[in-house]
């Protein structure tokens, strides 16, 4: 049947009205638009109640025109009417990668999902939650799709809830969080890979027909080799300020799978969720299986705008205390490793004060007695202070720090155990290992079975005891250095639930911790960046991007993380890695949440003076770095000079970090670097800060520039081989 434009418009108006009425039964054609400030994802249920995606992209001015979009495409036939399914069921008409695949209680493998109703609830000025009920017409099986949209930030979080009332159990073979369908001439995937000290290495390639999968099977610290964050540019590769680009990420810390299927019609299907690898899930009647959220944002103004939307969403809604403050710190890991005692720590606490940071952070090595933690072979799991190193316990150190006017934080790795530990001896059944096979270690340790409620209690108690005994404890660095080998839980009856139950156990512990200690800052660390994701970051205030703190490497690593995570969440420490001078190292660490991991007492006088002044400067600038808008000005992968700016909301203050990233002959900032995010009508003064004692800036801070000049002509930071790192402070000149 062909519908006239007017009929379509009328039908759409009815459907839109029904959305406004919050709940709607099925009309002949139901259009469900999920709209944010700039974008729309539009769904349509036709006569046969299949719910399909008919539009994704920059939103149209007239909502009534969405049903006209598909008529503009003359692609090959869709033999299934499901290629653009909102949540592709398998085993009935479907011929492509499914979102959901099941075996019913009677052994039948087919699934069909038809639209039943939807409901939209306004959660706040900025947030709406849409839920859509889909049901199988034959089996008593239903899926509720959830779309939580953040209007101003253009972000959507999507997840699903799967239930049934069949006579027996249903097996879920695949259970994605979301299923998207994009139309473009071509698709360019920007993905990441890595390893220890080489996190977030980007790779961009054109997607070809078939399926490209991004996944992890590591169990925990799941994104060591490949994180779930990615970008899809449409039509041509987007750059910083131009192009259509979608960002996606799974809010989950365990195994994930993202299938990017370029189908025979040349459309891109994205199916994202928990990895079903070794994990068929037995779902009981009446039980709900809720998937983690897949989040996405879309920009028609390139990667920079997309990243600012995501960063602002994270600060406003996801990252714990995203709009709050953070503590600068001195960490003792690289200063002492495992070799310390009370008197050494006392000196370090004194140095913390001298340096001018907020907190001393005691790292690995403070615990275990029968098998003392003197290296990484023993002690993990035995969370009692080592009597030899700390005869007066943590309590006396916390007190001492308090007396010196600094805060005290502590390192733990509570999910892990060394085979050489009392915990392992007492509770071998708490450890993940195959009963009949050799143990296989990652950093000489094994992972505890968080699927077991007793282990969950144990992990909660590790944190709770520390805070109960030391109420003034100010910070936790939560490490996680092993992946899961020989995945087997002595507790679980059904091993194929293991990977999922492990994550449920972890999140349940983190929820308990946050219920009791809602605000205490905690760093998500994983021997480098093996764990950061928005599933975990709702419990953590910051993450550790990499053990690689060589500042030259860090410019690249931090650059890539910054597309997905705000600067306030990135813990950057000044260490002795790399050949760069202290100024370069400190400048790079200042681009996020600043910390130090150096021997302060061994710093040459001028280095110490420099650090002390840089910390003072950071205290002035940190509000802009943590809460302002971030602009990538000059990409280190494309230029000899890297440049990154942060500008406050009012566009009155900013800071620009510039580095020489090439040591080829006479490389320098030959041309001005164009600033972004300023007010063209405002006047600004640019002043160089973080000068090493005894050096003078070659930049004249008296000149006043318009925002227009700084953004259209640019500013030359005068980076060269004698000025390899230049920090500029920008202030409105009144
Ligand atoms: C790995 C972390 O990334 C380091 O910062 C340090 O905390 C060590 N673990 C301690 O074992």
pLDDT of residue 27: 52
Pocket test for ligand 1, best of 330, 339, 479 (most atoms within 8 A of CB): 479
> Given the structure tokens 């230029």, which residue do they identify?
639
Q: Return d(Cα 74, Cα 406) in angstroms, integer.
A: 67
Domains of the chain, residue spans: 26-318, 329-627, 631-732
Dihedrals phi, psi of 273, to nearest 5 degrees: 175, -165
Residue ranges for the chain with pLDDT beneath 70: 1-28
Pairing label, strands 359-362, 329-331: parallel
Q: Is 333 in the pocket of ligand 1 (CB under 6 A)?
A: yes
* Whole-number pLDDT of residue 529: 77
b/e per residue, 54-77, with b = 16+ CB within 10 A? bbbbebbeebbebbbbeeeeeeee
For residues 640 and 661, the answer to whether their CB atoms sit within 8 Å is: yes
Q: Which CATH superfamily is domain 631-732 in?
A: Golgi alpha-mannosidase II (2.60.40.1180)
What is the model's pLDDT at position 646? 98
Does residue 547 line the site of ligand 1, with CB under 6 A? yes
CB atoms within 10 A of CB 194: 22
Task: Determine phi and psi for 612, rounding to 5 degrees.
Answer: -60, -45
Q: Which H or E run contains 233?
A: strand 230-234
Q: Which atom of ligand 1 lies nearest, measured to the CA of 526?
A: 3
Could you tell me the distance, in angstroms and rounded to a whole number, from the CA of residue 547 to the centre of ligand 1? Answer: 7
Asked if residue 277 lies in contact with residue 217, where contact means CB atoms within 8 angstroms, the answer is: yes
CA angle 669, 675, 679 (to 5 degrees): 155
The C-alpha atoms of residue 323 and residue 570 are separated, in whole angstroms, by 14
Cα separation, 155 vs 443, whole angstroms? 38
Give the separation between CA 336 and CA 234, rounded to whole angstroms: 50
What separation in Å is there between the alpha carbon of 480 and the centre of ligand 1?
9
Question: From ligand 1's centre to the CA of 626, what distance in Å?
Answer: 24
Q: Is the CB of 363 under 6 A from ligand 1?
A: yes
- Ligand 1 center to 371 CA (angstroms): 19
Distance CA(322)–CA(446), nearest Å, equals 33
Q: Is 123 exposed, middle or buried (0-12, 13-18, 19+ CB in 10 A)?
A: exposed
| Ligand 1 pocket test, candidate residues 374, 475, 547, most atoms within 8 A of CB | 547
Q: Best substitution site from 361, 362, 363 to test ligand 1's pocket, by max atoms within 8 Å of Cβ?
A: 363
Question: Is 525 a pocket residue for ligand 1 (Cβ < 6 Å)?
Answer: yes
Which residue, 544, 701, 532, 726, is CA-closest to 645? 726
pLDDT recorded at residue 518: 97
R_g (Cα) of the chain, nearest Å: 27
**695 CB contacts (<8 Å, ≥6 apart)?**
none
Q: How far is the CA of 273 from the centre of ligand 1 (A)?
A: 29
User: From the alpha carbon of 376, which atom of ligand 1 is closest?
Assistant: 11
Distance of CA 574 from the midpoint of ligand 1 (Å): 14
| Mutation choice for ligand 1 from 364, 548, 576, 595, CB with most ligand atoms inside 8 A | 364
Q: Which two tokens stand for residue 631?
A: 């602009």
Would you state the pLDDT for residue 528? 77
SS3 label, residue 442: strand
CATH class of 26-318: mainly beta
For residue 528, give the ligand 1 atom closest to its CA. 3
Element (H, E) at 190: strand 187-193
| 448 touches 382 (CB < 8 A) | no
Cα 689 to averaged position of ligand 1 atoms, centre (Å): 32
DSSP for 416-440?
EE-SBSHHHHH-GGGB---TTS---
Q: Which helix (H) or strand (E) holds 273?
A: strand 268-274
Residue 400 in contact with ligand 1 by CB distance below 6 A: no
> From atom 3 of ligand 1, which residue's Cα is the shortest distance away?
527
Whole-angstrom distance, CA of residue 144 vs CA of residue 290: 9
d(CA 79, CA 76): 9
Q: For ligand 1, what atom is nearest to the CA of residue 547?
A: 3
Record the pTM: 0.95
Q: What is the pLDDT of residue 723?
A: 97
CA distances from 288 to 110, 144, 190, 250, 284 (A): 20, 10, 34, 20, 8
Ligand 1 pocket residue status of 199, Cβ below 6 Å:
no
Residues 6+ apart with CB under 8 A from 427: none
User: Residues for the chain: how many in total?
Assistant: 734
Query: What is the 586 CA–ligand 1 centroid distance (Å)?
Result: 20
Ligand 1 touching residue 478 (CB < 6 A): no
The DSSP annotation for 601-662 comes to: GGS-HHHHHHHHHHHHHHHHHHHHHHHSEEEEEE-TTTSSEEEEEEE-TTSSEEEEEEEE--
Atom of ligand 1 nearest to the CA of 411: 7
Nearest CA to ligand 1 atom 11: 364
Q: Whose CA is nearest to atom 9 of ligand 1?
A: 527
SS3 679: coil
Distance 400 CA to ligand 1 centre (A): 24
Evaluate whether the domain defined by 329-627 bears CATH number 3.20.20.70: yes
| 402 CA distance to ligand 1 middle (Å) | 25
The pair of structure tokens assigned to 607 is 């280095």
Reading the block at residue 102, the tokens are 């099941």
597 CA: nearest ligand 1 atom = 5
Distance 196 CA to ligand 1 centre (A): 12
Q: Facing residues of 410 across strands?
A: 362, 476
Q: Are 314 and 565 in contact (CB under 8 A)?
A: yes
- Alpha-carbon distance of 511 to 506, in angstroms, equals 9
Structure tokens at 691: 């000068």
* 407 and 358 Cβ atoms separated by less than 8 Å: yes
- Quickly tell me which residue has 């949209």 as its tokens: 149
Percentages of the chain per state (helix, strand, coil), in multiples of 5: 25, 30, 45
Ligand 1 neighbour 87 (Cβ under 6 A):
no
List of residues 6+ apart from 561 with CB closer than 8 A: 199, 200, 529, 532, 545, 570
Q: Could you tell me if 290 and 281 are in contact, meaning their C-beta atoms sit under 8 angstroms apart?
A: no
Protein residue whose Cα sits closest to atom 4 of ligand 1: 527
536 CA to centre of ligand 1 in angstroms? 18
Quickly tell me which residue has 């349509």 as its tokens. Answer: 44
Alpha carbons within 13 A on the beta-carbon side of 140: 12
Minimal-distance CA residue to ligand 1 atom 10 = 364
Ligand 1 neighbourhood includes 364 CB (under 6 angstroms): yes
**8 Å CB contact between 135 and 113:** yes
Q: Which two tokens stand for residue 460?
A: 């909660």
Q: Is 318 helix (H, G, I), strand (E, B) or coil?
A: helix
In angstroms, what is the span from residue 527 Cα to ligand 1's centroid? 5
Instruction: Answer whether 460's CB lies under 8 Å from 513's CB.
Output: yes
Q: Which residue minimizes the CA distance to atom 1 of ligand 1? A: 527
Ligand 1 pocket residue status of 543, Cβ below 6 Å: no
90: Cα separation from own chain's centroid: 30
């Amino acid at each position: 049947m062909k519908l006239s434009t007017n009929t379509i418009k009328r039908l759409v108006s009815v459907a839109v009205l029904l959305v406004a009425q919050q709940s709607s039964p099925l009309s002949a054609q139901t259009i469900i638009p999920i709209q944010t400030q700039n974008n729309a994802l539009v769904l349509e249920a036709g006569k046969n109640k299949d719910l399909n995606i008919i539009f994704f992209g920059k939103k149209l001015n007239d909502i009534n025109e969405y049903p006209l979009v598909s008529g503009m495409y003359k692609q090959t036939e869709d033999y299934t009417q499901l290629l653009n399914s909102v949540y592709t069921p398998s085993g009935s008409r479907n011929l492509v990668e499914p979102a959901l695949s099941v075996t019913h209680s009677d052994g039948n493998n087919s699934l069909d999902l038809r639209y039943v109703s939807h409901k939209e609830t306004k959660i706040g000025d900025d947030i709406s939650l849409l839920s859509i009920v889909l049901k199988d017409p034959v089996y008593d099986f239903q899926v509720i799709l959830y779309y939580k949209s953040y209007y101003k930030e253009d972000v959507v979080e999507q997840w699903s809830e799967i239930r049934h009332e069949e006579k027996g159990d249903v097996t879920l073979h695949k259970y994605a969080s979301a299923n998207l369908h994009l139309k473009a001439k071509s698709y360019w995937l920007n993905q990441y890979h890595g390893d220890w000290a080489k996190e977030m290495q980007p790779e961009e390639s054109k997607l070809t027909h078939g399926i490209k999968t991004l996944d992890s099977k590591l169990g925990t610290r799941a994104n060591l080799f490949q994180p779930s964050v990615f970008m899809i540019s449409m039509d041509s590769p987007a750059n910083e300020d131009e192009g259509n680009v979608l960002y996606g990420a799974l809010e989950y810390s365990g195994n994930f799978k993202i299938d990017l299927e370029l189908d025979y019609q040349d459309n891109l299907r994205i199916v994202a969720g928990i990895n079903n690898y070794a994990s068929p899930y037995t779902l009981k009647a009446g039980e709900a299986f809720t998937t983690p959220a897949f989040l996405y944002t879309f920009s028609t103004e390139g990667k920079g705008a997309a990243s600012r939307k995501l960063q602002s969403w994270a600060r406003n809604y996801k990252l714990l205390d995203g709009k709050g403050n953070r503590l600068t710190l001195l960490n003792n890991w690289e200063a002492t490793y495992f070799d310390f005692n009370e008197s050494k720590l006392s000196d370090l606490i004194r140095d913390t004060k001298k340096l001018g940071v907020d907190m001393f952070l005691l790292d690995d090595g403070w615990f275990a007695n029968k098998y003392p933690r003197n290296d990484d072979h023993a002690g993990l799991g035995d969370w009692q202070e080592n009597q030899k190193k700390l005869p007066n316990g943590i309590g006396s150190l916390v007190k001492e720090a308090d007396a010196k006017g600094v805060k005290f934080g502590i390192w733990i790795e509570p999910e892990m155990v060394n085979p050489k530990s009392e915990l392992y001896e007492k509770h071998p059944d708490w450890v993940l290992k195959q009963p009949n096979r050799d143990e296989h270690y990652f950093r000489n340790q094994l992972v505890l079975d968080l699927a077991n409620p007793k282990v969950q209690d144990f992990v909660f108690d590790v944190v709770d005891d520390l805070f109960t005994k030391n109420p003034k404890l100010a910070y936790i660095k939560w490490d996680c250095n092993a992946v899961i080998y020989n995945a087997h839980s002595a507790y679980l009856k059904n091993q194929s639930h293991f990977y999922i139950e492990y994550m449920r156990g972890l999140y349940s512990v983190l929820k308990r911790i946050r219920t009791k200690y809602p605000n205490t800052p905690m760093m998500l660390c994983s021997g480098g960046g093996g764990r950061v994701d928005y599933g975990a970051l709702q419990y953590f205030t910051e993450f550790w991007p990499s053990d690689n703190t060589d500042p030259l490497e860090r410019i690249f690593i931090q650059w890539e993380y910054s597309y997905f995570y705000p600067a306030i969440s990135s813990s950057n420490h000044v260490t002795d890695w790399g050949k760069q001078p202290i100024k370069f190292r400190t400048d790079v660490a200042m681009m996020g949440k600043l910390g130090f991991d150096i021997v302060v007492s061994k710093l040459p006088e001028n280095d110490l003076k420099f650090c002390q002044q840089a910390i003072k400067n950071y205290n002035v600038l940190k509000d802009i770095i943590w809460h302002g808008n971030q602009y990538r000005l000059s990409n280190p992968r494309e230029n000899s000079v890297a440049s990154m700016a942060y500008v406050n909301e009012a566009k009155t203050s900013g800071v620009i970090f510039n580095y020489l990233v090439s040591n080829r002959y006479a490389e320098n900032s030959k041309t001005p670097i164009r600033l972004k995010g300023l007010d063209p009508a405002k006047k600004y003064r640019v002043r160089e800060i973080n000068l090493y004692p005894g050096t003078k800036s070659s930049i004249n801070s008296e000149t006043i520039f318009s925002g227009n000049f700084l953004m259209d002509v640019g500013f030359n930071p005068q980076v060269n081989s004698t000025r390899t790192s230049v920090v500029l402070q920008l202030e409105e000149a009144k």
